[in-house]
Structure 1
Amino acid sequence: MLDTLTVALLWFAALGCALIGGLYFAFSAFIMRAFASIDPSAGIAAMNAINRVILRSLFMPLFWATTLAALALAGLALTRGGPGAGAMLAGGTLYLVGMFVCTVVFNVPLNNALQAAQGAGEAALPVWQRYLRQWTRWNHVRTVASLGAAALFVWVLSIHTAY
């Protein structure tokens, strides 16, 4: 049976991953397509505004806390083992690599390039077109990783609460 701290971490990570995955899903499903359908300068300005605001929103504490919870759960799975440890390790690894590393290595540098291109007129168009294609592709990865990790954490909880 799992101890109380591990159960609390699993619940927090499952809900955090699901919330973050839902946000990423919205961008993949319709927000980026909507931005692609408007004037490029307006799309660039809107995305840059989102990128500025999100850094000072409740999203960031959730982003960091969920990442740390996934890391802790992966560590617990490696050190404690037991039923569900493989799924807990897989969930933590999937989230850390598919969401966190992907964000740092791909999405953030694309955000920075887009910020630098704002106000560049026609010169910003290739940056915007690349951004729409690549940022969205990596956002799909983050969406799947976040929701997959949430599902794995819920599964671990379910096997420990089944009668």
Structure 2
Amino acid sequence: MMDTFVTALLWFCAIGCAVIGGLFFAFSTFIMTALGQIDRPAGIAAMNAINVVILRSLFMPVFFGTTLAALALTVIGVMRWGDPGALAMAAGGVIYVLGMFVVTMAFNVPLNNELARTPSDEAWARYLKDWTLWNHVRTIAPIVSSALFICALIAAT
């Protein structure tokens, strides 16, 4: 049976991943399409405003907190490899950290910065295509991780 700390981390990550995945799902399924259908300057202005506001929102503690907790669960899962749910715990952490956090830092953030610096037609067209592609990855990773963390909770009970 899992200790209370690990159980709490799993619940936090399962919920945090679902929240993050849900936000990214909204961007992938309709927000980016809507921004792409309005006048280019308005779409760019809206996306740049979102990128500024999100940095000062409750999203950031959830974003970083879930990432740190998922990283911790990866280590705990590896350390407790033979325990029920350890594989799901470690896999959920790896998928989340790589598929959400690393993708965000390596692809989405640089694209956000480029759009803020160069709000041109060409930059916007590339941004809509590339940012949305990487956002699809960021959508799938936390949803899969949430399911794996739930599986780890079930396996350990």
TM range (shorter): over 0.9
Q: Number of residue pairs matched?
A: 156
Shift of residue 160 of structure 1? Answer: 2.1
Render the CA deviation track for 1:61-99: whole Å, top value 9, x for unaligned: 000000000000000011122111111111000000000
Q: Deviations over 1:4-30 (max 9, x none)?
A: 000000000000000000000000000
- CA deviation profile, 1:116-162 (whole Å, cap 9, x unmatched): 023xxxxx00000000000000000000001000000011111223x
Taking the aligned partners of 2:31 and 2:20, their CA distance within structure 1 comes to 15
Query: What is the identity percentage for the equivalent residue pairs of Structure 1 and Structure 2?
Result: 61
Deviations 1:23-80 (CA, angstroms, capped at 9, x unpaired): 0000000000000100011000000000000000000000000000000000001112
Which residue does 2:104 correspond to in 1? 103
1:37 aligns with 2:37: yes
Q: Give the unaligned 5+ runs of structure 1.
A: 119-123
Give every structure 1 segment of 4 or more consecutive aligned residues whose post-TM-superposition deviation is greater than 2 Å.
none
Among 112, 120, 133, the residue aligned to 1:137: 133
Q: Distance in 2 between matches of 1:22 and 1:35?
A: 18
> Does residue 150 of the first structure (1) align with residue 146 of the second (2)?
yes
Q: Which amino acid aligns with 2:36?
A: A
Root mean square deviation, CA, Å: 0.6
* TM-score, structure 1 normalization: 0.94
Q: List alignment gaps of at least 5 residues for structure 2.
A: none
For 2:98 and 2:152, locate their aligned partners in 1 and report how far apart those are by CA, in whole Å: 20
Query: Equivalences for 1:7-156 in 2 at 5 Å?
Result: 7-81=7-81, 82-118=83-119, 124-156=120-152
